Structure 1
Amino acid sequence: MLVGYCDSDWSGCEDDMRSTSGYAFHLGSVVFSWASVKQSCVALSTAEAEYISAAEATAQAVWLRFVLSDFGEEQVEATQIFCDNTSAIAITKNHVHHHKTRHINRRFHFIRDALQNGEIDLLYYRTGEQNADIFTKALARDWFEYVRSKLGVISAKHLEGSVKV
């Protein structure tokens, strides 16, 4: 089953005050799609930055579902995308919050359609256990190594001697 994790920093770039979105998608135990990109607009709150990050992860999830169906691996159930911001999840799931998000670029609101169509399900995942943290913020060495291992990435020093030249 395809599972995603998304995260963002808020106003992480001191030059233009734009946030960075990060996401990673697992298929089984393998991470096979990830990104770390600067957001195209300035977010006015952490909830907005996370909402935009979740929308970008949703776009990737919809595309990955399409690709998987081309390989005969159609995802019937919704792709779970984990986010560590309850406000961003509430904005997505409750249209009453729309008056608070009128200023957000309309292209990010398609996340609501994907949720209603059963393509994705945006769920809460506790801060500090978020795989996507590695794409959006500086981490302490031990936490960096832990998240890196959860993503299945190994240090280059562990490869030494494993390939004959």
Structure 2
Amino acid sequence: MNRPSRPPTCQLCRKSGHNASQCYHLASYAATAPSEEHLAQAFHAQCQLDPNVPDWTSDTGASSHMLPSNSTLPNATPTQGNQPSTITSFVSCLNKEFAIKDLRKLNYFLGLEVTYTPHGLFLNQSKYTIDILNRAKMLDAKPAQTPLSTNANFVSAGDPFPDATHYRSIVGALQYLMIMRPNISYAVNQVSQFLHALTVAHFQEVKRILRYLKGTIAFGLHYRRPTHTTLIGYSDADWARCLETRHSTYGYSMFLGGNLISWSAKKQPTVARSSCESEYRAMANTTAEIVWITHLLQELHALPQERQTILCDNQSAHFLTQNPVSHKRAKHIDLDYHFLRELVAAGKLITKFVPTKLQVADIFTKSLPSSQFCASRDMLCIGPPPFSLPGDVR
């Protein structure tokens, strides 16, 4: 007897928690996707760094760029841009080939909720957060002030956790939640490193993250209309953070016009022999991200006139970027040294020192006390919605 065929699934939908029927619709769309010729007629040009972003430049020199739309999906892909006439032409071209529906302003997309404010946008995932808490049976848990306690230590030794599938399901959901909650990136990064060797202590830390989310369900990212277009990156590292491998943890955050556009919290792949080395490697990784963003903005004809800036709270690492004589002490990080130093020498990049209390990327490298954590969270423009809801924690 032949078994009925099972509809294929989508990795994005699996991570975001969408059901199988929605994945089936995605698979159905793939079978009827527009041909390359149709897309070529609609797109005209594509960004080299991100082929999902069409790019036009009109005869007047005006630039138009947006995220393409296909509304045959159960949750329509958003279409946004800076020239309504170009968007209308794009949608009309696609409408000739297959049925689409214009849902107007974006309000909800794959768990992401969009609220329009007089000053910009507010993006959050409150419904998805409630779903995670329900799945973990922690909707009635006591809220916590921070995702991790300051004395949290992660090691492989300990009593094994019996339900590995439940642990991995919750952690996977938390990884998707980081899209609009970068302030939990460090905590989720730590609990994700032990998916192969779970312990009861690790699950207690996961529950701590969920308790923090319980008290900040409606929190999200605020995006305000910028008054400037400066691109600034904050770079930080915590030397030898891992107790078992002594690898350092590094993180960065990128702001364009004062709005957070990119961030990361990762463990460095090699052991650093000094805090200066770990900080300098973090700056090199931050620089690579800034270079990529700069090239993308250049393609979109939106490159800021000001030089890009990296802020670091380590005096020694900052000194290395400014003083070529100190190269003798940097031979063991030779490639990172030349990559960063050449950009600074060419005047394409500025490095500055920033005090630790103003180091936004600190939240991506370690568990912070409550007051410092809240200050960093505010600097990331993460907070409650711009309106009051029953039960909100402020």
Q: Name the TM-score, length of structure 2 as normaliser.
A: 0.39
> Is the contact made by 1:4 and 1:26 (CA closer than 8 Å) also made in structure 2?
yes
Does residue 84 (structure 1) correspond to residue 309 (structure 2)? The answer is: no
CA offsets 1:19-77 (integer angstroms, 9 cap, x no match):
11111011112101000111122111111111111111111111111111111112333
Aligned partner (choices 89, 97, 113) of residue 342 of structure 2: 113
How far 1:138 moved relative to its partner?
A: 1.1
* Unmatched tracts of structure 2, length 5 or more: 1-229
- Runs of 4+ that moved beyond 3 A: 158-161
Q: Which amino acid aligns with 2:255?
A: H
Q: Which amino acid aligns with 1:36?
A: A
> Is the contact made by 1:77 and 1:118 (CA closer than 8 Å) also made in structure 2?
no
Q: Name the TM-score, length of structure 1 as normaliser.
A: 0.89
CA offsets 1:126-149 (integer angstroms, 9 cap, x no match):
112100000001101121112112
Say which structure is richer in strand: 1
CA–CA separation in structure 1 for the residues paired with 2:265 and 2:238: 11
Does residue 128 (structure 1) correspond to residue 357 (structure 2)? The answer is: yes
CA–CA separation in structure 2 for the residues paired with 1:20 and 1:64: 23
**Following superposition of structure 1 onto structure 2, how do residues 24-63 of structure 1 map, counting pairs within 5 Å?**
24-63=253-292
How far 1:118 moved relative to its partner?
A: 2.1
Structure (1 or 2) with the larger CA radius of gyration: 2
CA–CA separation in structure 2 for the residues paired with 1:108 and 1:32: 26
* Unmatched tracts of structure 1, length 5 or more: none
Identity across the alignment (%): 36
How far 1:117 moved relative to its partner?
A: 2.2
Q: Which amino acid aligns with 2:353?
A: Y
Check 1:155–1:19 CA distance in 2 against 1; reply closer, same or farther (3 A cut).
farther
CA–CA separation in structure 1 for the residues paired with 2:325 and 2:237: 24
How far 1:150 moved relative to its partner?
A: 1.1
Does residue 70 (structure 1) correspond to residue 307 (structure 2)? The answer is: no
- Greater RCO (CA < 8 Å, at least 6 residues apart): 1
CA–CA separation in structure 2 for the residues paired with 1:76 and 1:116: 18
**Which residue does the alignment assign to 2:113?**
none
State how many pairs are aligned. 161
Check 1:109–1:39 CA distance in 2 against 1; reply closer, same or farther (3 A cut).
farther
> Is the contact made by 1:55 and 1:109 (CA closer than 8 Å) also made in structure 2?
no
Greater CA drift, 134-143 or 100-109: 100-109
